[in-house]
């Protein structure tokens, strides 16, 4: 550890500082119907004035906010710097950018990545596109505190850091996927200010991963040269080189493999043609998916995708889906006045540059039918000012088909209520389809920004799982008025959970749950007989009324088939306290020391 690193702070970090940045239908429903004509009326006269919509074409231009570079492109650094200046502190701005690098070798770059900016290579392997330089996230815009470095990503690149260490100081909704770092990876900002967790998948870090002040982190199906330290909750599944199981001291939760995984779809170049690669499902995965050359899976040409620009109507998106096209959402804000309906098995909905869907008039943004193999990836759903009953619905109510051979995956799909303006939703994400894999999501009721208040951005429930056999790998859900996660399906599994209870509860009465003090962050339904979770944490920071008491972070039926490993609750600076960890088990938090209370195994 460098001599200037605050090693004394690593075991007991200060509260997460977040308040200072407050300034900073069917798929054919919209198509013309076919009326029953009176006998003898020629077909040409039926529905006069209403024409069948013209067939939509796939492929096309990716739009002005997708920037494509090759090694001969002049002044790449200048263009990167220009975008970063715009996006560095634009936490709730409307700018969205995708930076794409064609295969080849690039020299002397420092790609600083700001809000709503995604950087990615266009090869089949990360090593096809090498940057001799850095891909940097730091926190100068927020005084060295990285706890608000949200909504940015890096994918499918090899990086040779200038000084041997690449800095990626992020918090939620900032995935580091399919990367090869030929050196070390530092997850803390300059000066070792706080950062609040993140996610690595399908990546190879040749050197050491250095979390320093990171409060929690999840790493999946990767290979690392070493891991430096842990603060509260560091979780690994399928990671070669991961530290041994040791929770709570040090706080390492380590699974040898990931039960089921399927990597996120990605755009790449095949000669001069854009295609989208669809990685295959892996069972009991360990290590990267691309380590032995070409990854396993299939691909689709861009001509099979409707390339959706901001301003295209939901009716047009649904027409494209009904025609059999997939959707590629280009960077920007996409308003929908009816649900986007994914009714066909194997459909891909892929966003570039944090493409954002905003539902108008209280509709659900996107609904998936009870079909095999849908892939939702790489976009943000932002609640509108009129309350939506749900924002994302994976499978209709009562979905029951077996999708074990070809599950639906929800990857880097983020949900936000408030922050960019008033927003409301009763339930943010509902998973009804069996065997769904939710692989990295941040479902967030905003605690700062515009349109924030206990009733202003009311959102009672974060994620509700009704489907059986659902797996969550990297589940971040925060600040809901009632339950953050409710799980009613059988045989559910969660590997890594990060939660903060709502900061802004006005008093104890506002969170009272019958006779129970507060709503659990993660609740397993009373009727569930089989469930399992590894590496789950809940934190409270009741800054409006620090006297609030939360009985527990986790609630579950007390039966042998419902099992938890490595649980913790933390009071941030004594702003509110937990009486127990899970049900009536676990020691209370106390004082202002911000020391976790832990339960290693339950029951």
User: How do 176-177 and 198-201 pair as beta strands?
Assistant: parallel
Q: Contact, 103 vs 124, CB < 8 A?
A: no
Report the alpha-carbon distance of residue 421 to residue 103 in Å, rounded.
39
Give 450: exposed, middle or buried? Use CB within 10 Å, 0-12, 13-18, 19+: middle
User: How many other β-carbons are positioned within 10 Å of the β-carbon of residue 286?
Assistant: 18
List, in order, residues 6 or more apart from 134 with CB less than 8 Å away: 109, 110, 111, 159, 161, 162, 166, 167
- Report in angstroms the alpha-carbon separations of 527 from 182, 342, 493, 552: 49, 31, 16, 19
Pairwise CA distance, residues 585 & 603, whole Å: 9
Q: How far apart are CA 34 and CA 9, in angstroms?
A: 69
| Residues acting as catalytic residues | 500
- Cα gap 463→459, rounded to integer Å: 11
Partners of 278 in the beta sheet? 298
Taking Cα atoms as reference points, which of 585, 520, 576, 518 lies closest to residue 547?
576
HSE-CB of 117 using CA atoms within 13 angstroms: 25
Helices (DSSP H) in 418-557: which residue ranges? 508-511
Helix, strand, coil percentages for the chain (3-state, nearest 5): 5, 40, 50
Residue 253 near residue 236, CB atoms below 8 Å: yes
DSSP letter (8 states) at residue 365:
S
Which residues does 416 contact at the CB level (< 8 Å), separation at least 6?
380, 381, 382, 383, 423, 444, 446
């Amino acid at each position: 550890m460098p001599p200037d690193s605050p090693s004394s702070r690593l075991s007991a970090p200060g509260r997460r500082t977040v308040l200072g940045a407050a300034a900073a239908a069917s798929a054919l429903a919209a198509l013309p119907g076919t009326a029953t004509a009176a006998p003898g009326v020629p077909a040409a006269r039926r529905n006069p004035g209403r024409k069948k919509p013209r067939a939509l074409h796939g492929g096309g231009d990716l739009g002005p906010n997708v920037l494509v570079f090759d090694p001969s492109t002049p002044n790449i650094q200048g263009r990167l710097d220009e975008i970063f200046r715009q996006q560095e502190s634009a936490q709730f701005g409307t700018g969205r950018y995708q930076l794409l690098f064609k295969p080849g070798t690039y020299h002397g770059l420092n790609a600083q990545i700001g809000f709503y900016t995604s950087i990615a290579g266009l090869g089949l392997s990360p090593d096809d596109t090498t940057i001799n330089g850095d891909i940097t996230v730091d926190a100068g815009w927020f005084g060295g505190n990285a706890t608000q470095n949200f909504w940015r990503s890096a994918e499918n690149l090899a990086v040779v850091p200038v000084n041997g260490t690449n800095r990626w100081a992020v918090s939620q909704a900032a995935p580091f996927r399919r990367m090869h770092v030929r050196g070390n990876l530092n997850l803390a900002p300059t000066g070792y200010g706080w950062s609040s967790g993140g996610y690595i998948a399908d990546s190879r870090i040749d050197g050491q991963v250095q979390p320093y002040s990171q409060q929690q982190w999840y790493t999946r199906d990767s290979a690392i040269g070493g891991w430096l330290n842990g603060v509260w909750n560091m979780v690994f599944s399928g990671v070669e080189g991961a530290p041994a199981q040791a929770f709570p001291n040090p706080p390492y939760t380590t699974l040898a493999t990931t039960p089921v995984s399927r990597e996120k779809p990605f755009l790449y170049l095949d000669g001069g043609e854009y295609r989208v690669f669809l990685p295959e499902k892996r069972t009991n995965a360990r290590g990267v998916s691309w380590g032995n050359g070409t990854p396993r899976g299939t691909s689709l040409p861009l001509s099979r995708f409707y390339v959706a620009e901001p301003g295209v109507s939901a009716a047009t998106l649904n027409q494209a889906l009904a025609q059999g096209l997939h959707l590629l959402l280009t960077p920007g804000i996409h308003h929908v006045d009816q649900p986007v309906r994914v009714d066909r098995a194997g459909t891909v909905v892929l966003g570039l540059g944090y493409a954002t869907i905003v539902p108008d008039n209280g509709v659900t943004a996107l609904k998936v039918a009870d079909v095999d193999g849908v892939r939702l990836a790489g976009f943000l759903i932002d609640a509108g000012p009129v309350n939506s009953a749900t924002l994302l619905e994976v499978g209709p109510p009562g979905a029951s088909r077996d999708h074990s051979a070809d599950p639906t995956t929800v990857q880097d799909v983020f949900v936000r209520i408030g922050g960019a303006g008033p927003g409301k939703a009763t339930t943010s994400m509902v998973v009804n389809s069996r065997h769904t894999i939710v692989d990295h999501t941040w479902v967030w009721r905003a605690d700062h920004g515009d349109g924030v208040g206990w009733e202003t951005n009311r959102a009672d429930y974060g994620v509700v799982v009704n489907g059986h056999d659902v797996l969550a790998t990297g589940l971040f859900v925060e600040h809901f008025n009632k339950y953050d996660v409710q799980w009613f399906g059988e045989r559910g599994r969660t590997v890594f959970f990060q939660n903060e209870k709502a900061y802004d509860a006005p008093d104890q009465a506002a969170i009272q749950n019958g006779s129970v003090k507060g709503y659990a962050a993660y609740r397993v339904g009373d009727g569930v007989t089989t469930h399992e979770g590894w590496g789950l944490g809940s934190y409270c920071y009741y800054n409006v009324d620090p006297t609030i008491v939360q009985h527990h972070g986790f609630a579950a039926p007390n039966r042998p088939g419902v099992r938890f490993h490595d649980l913790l609750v933390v009071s941030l600076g004594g702003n509110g306290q937990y009486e127990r960890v899970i049900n009536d088990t676990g020691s209370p938090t106390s004082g202002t020391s911000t020391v976790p209370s832990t339960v290693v195994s339950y029951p």
